[in-house]
Amino acid sequence: MTAEKRNALSRRKRNTILAMGIVLVALVFVCLFVGSSRMSLAESFGALIGKGNEAQTRILWKIRVPRVLAALIAGAGLSLSGLVMQTNLSNAMASPSTLGVSNAAVFGANLSIIAFAGGFLSTGHNVANYTAGANPFATSLMAFLFAALSILGILALCRIRSFSPNVVVLAGIAIGSVWTAATTILQFYATDVGLSAAVIWNFGDLGRATYKTDAIMAVVVLLGFVFFALMSWRYNALLSGDATAKSMGVDVEKLRFASLLIASVITAVCVSFLGIIGFVGIICPHVTKKLLGQDHRFSIPASALAGSILLVLADTVSRSIGNGSALPVGAITSLLGAPFFVSIIFAKGGRHHD
C-alpha cells in the first residue's frame, strides 16, 4: 500500500471516530431529555441550565445526569475490556465475563445482601430492617473484592502455563462455574427478602449510579484507557501470533498478564456498582473492528465510543418503554446482544475474523 493510500485510510478512520463522537453527544442530549417524568423538551432544557422548578432540576441533575455519566463510563470500560480480552486471548467470543469476573462479583454482592443486610444473619423477613441495614457501598465493595480475588486466582493459575490463551479461557470458565454454584447455594438458604434484594441487584441498573460512583469508575476506566492506548502497537504485534510479537521485542506473558488484569479490574468496578450489563464487551469490539479493522490505534478509542453509544442508547430505550419506571438496562443490552452473538457464530467465515 502506498503512503498516499495509507494516509487516506487513516484519515477515513479518524473521520469515522469523529462521527461516532458526534453521534454520542447527540444521544447524550436525547437521553437527558427522555424519561418517565414526562417533562417537556423546554422543561428539561430549563432544568439543565438551572431555570426549571425544584422538582425538575432535581430529576435532571440528581437522577438523569448521573445515569448518563454511568452509561458513558461503564459502556466505554466494558467495551474496552472486551476488545483487549479478545486480542490477548485470540478469541472472538472473549468478553469481560470470560474470566468469571461477573460471576465472582455476583457472589460477593449476594453474600453481602443475603448474609449481612437482608438475610439469614441479620434482619430475617423484615423489609424495614433490610432497608435500614443495606449499604450499597458495602455491597459494591464485597462484589469488587470477590471479583478481584477471582482475577488474581485465575492469573496465578495461568502463570504455570505461561498464559496460554486456551488455559486462561478454560480457567475462567471453571472458576466462573464455581462462583455460580456458590451463588445458587447461597440463594437457596436466603430469606424471601434477601433473595429478592439479591436478584434485583443482579439486574444491570444505571439508576443506582451517583456522582461518587461515577467518579470512581471514571478514574479506573480512564487509567485503563491510557494504558491500552500506550500498548496499542504491542497489541497489533500480538495479532500476528506470540512468536511474531516476541520477535518484535514484546514480552507477551507480561503484556497478557497486565492487560487481562486491568481489563478485569475495569469490569469488576463497573459491575460492582451497576450490576451485570451483558454483551457490551462482545457487540462493540466486533462492530468497531468491522468498521475500522484491527489496528488498535483506532479500535481502542472507537471501541470506547461504541460502548458508550450502546449503553446510552439502551438507557434511553429502557426509560422510554418502562411505563413509569426504567427497565434494567442489562435486559436491553441482552436483548440486543443475544441475536448479535448468534449472528457472529453463524456468520460465514466468522471464525476467521476479529
23 vs 174: which has the higher pLDDT: 23
- 53: confidence class by pLDDT, cuts 50, 70, 90: confident
pTM of the model: 0.88
Closest CA to 90 of 221, 220, 252: 252
* pLDDT for the residue 322: 61
Judge contact between 179 and 142, C-beta under 8 A: no
Residue 196 has pLDDT above 90, yes or no: no
Residues 166-193 have a mean pLDDT of 88
Q: Is the dihedral of CA 235, 236, 238, 243 positive or negative?
A: negative
Judge contact between 82 and 155, C-beta under 8 A: no
* pLDDT for the residue 129: 47
Alpha helix ranges (H) inside the chain: 3-32, 41-48, 54-58, 65-89, 101-110, 127-133, 136-158, 165-188, 192-202, 211-230, 232-238, 242-247, 252-274, 280-292, 296-320, 329-346
Q: Torsion over CA of 20, 21, 26 and 29, rounded to 10 degrees?
A: 140
Query: SS3 of 306, please?
Result: helix
Query: SS3 of 7, please?
Result: helix
* pLDDT for the residue 118: 44
Residue 35 has pLDDT above 70, yes or no: yes
User: Any residues with CB less than 8 A from the CB of 67 and at least 6 apart, and which?
Assistant: 31, 206, 207, 209, 315
Q: CA geometry: angle at 217 spanning 214 and 219, to 5°?
A: 110
Alpha-carbon distance 105 to 165, whole Å?
23
- 95: confidence class by pLDDT, cuts 50, 70, 90: confident
Residue 257 has what DSSP assignment? H
* pLDDT for the residue 210: 92
Alpha-carbon distance 349 to 331, whole Å?
29
* pLDDT for the residue 39: 78
345 vs 142: which has the higher pLDDT: 142
Structural domains in the chain plus CATH codes:
66-347 (1.10.3470.10)
Burial of 46 (0-12, 13-18, 19+ CB in 10 A): middle
Point out which residues pair with 276 in neighbouring strands: 203
The three grid cell numbers given for residue 163, joined into one nine-digit string: 498464559
Closest CA to 81 of 213, 275, 278: 278
127 vs 7: which has the higher pLDDT: 7
Residue 74 has pLDDT above 90, yes or no: yes
The three grid cell numbers given for residue 10, joined into one nine-digit string: 487513516
